[in-house]
Amino acid sequence: MKSKSCDICQRTPTTKCACGMRLCVDHESELKHDCAHAKKLDAIASDPKAKREWLRAHEGEESLTSDVVEALNKLPEIEEAWQAKKRGGVRAGQVALRVPDVLAYAKDGAILIGVELKRQHKDDCPCESCVGQKDWGARLRARGGVFVENARTVAQAVDGVKLGLAMARGRERKAG
């Protein structure tokens, strides 16, 4: 993997400024560039209310995942829901890289359910993981399962699961 070089002299190693500029140690101390983004983050950090709001808006998927698992396990139509993978436990190319954040199965018919949560990635993110998850979800749907894609809140995840189960059960009735 190629490391990122200094935006000024192309040397490595570098650190990334809040504005996105990469600077080596020499240029980081010399330049002291006027970074509006860093100033904005400093202002947020010094205001406790703004800091709480920023942290809430930028918290990772871990807490959202736990909240979704808890909410799904409370639904009467869900037998069990669980977190499918933990951060840092996946290597590139492993099938688990493509598995959604939450897996569950329904009581009636044992329909498999996958819920992919997104906090930081955009809905149309082209990264290997996101593309793989969409492919996994498409294959799950093709086999009669439910896949909720790009849920950003607990409510979106729960509503997506309920709608997906209703649609899956409708397909079962038509086929049966």
Ordered domains of the chain (ranges, CATH) = 15-58 (no CATH), 61-175 (3.40.1350)
Compute the residue count for the chain: 176
> Confidence class of residue 36 from pLDDT cuts 50, 70 and 90?
low
Query: pTM to 2 decimals?
Result: 0.62
pLDDT at position 96, please?
65
The answer to whether residue 138 scores a pLDDT higher than 80 is yes
Task: Give the CA angle between residues 11, 121, 78 to the nearest 5°.
Answer: 145
DSSP state of 164: H
State mean pLDDT over 51-67.
75
Q: Using alpha carbons, list the distances in angstroms from residue 28 to 36, 40, 147.
A: 16, 19, 46
pLDDT: which is higher, 129 or 36: 129
State mean pLDDT over 23-48.
72
The answer to whether residue 114 scores a pLDDT higher than 90 is yes
Whole-number percent of the chain with pLDDT over 70: 76
Question: For the CA atoms of the chain, what is the radius of gyration?
Answer: 21
pLDDT: which is higher, 37 or 77: 77
Spatial distance between the Cα atoms of 170 and 17, rounded to a whole number of angstroms = 52
pLDDT at position 71, please?
95
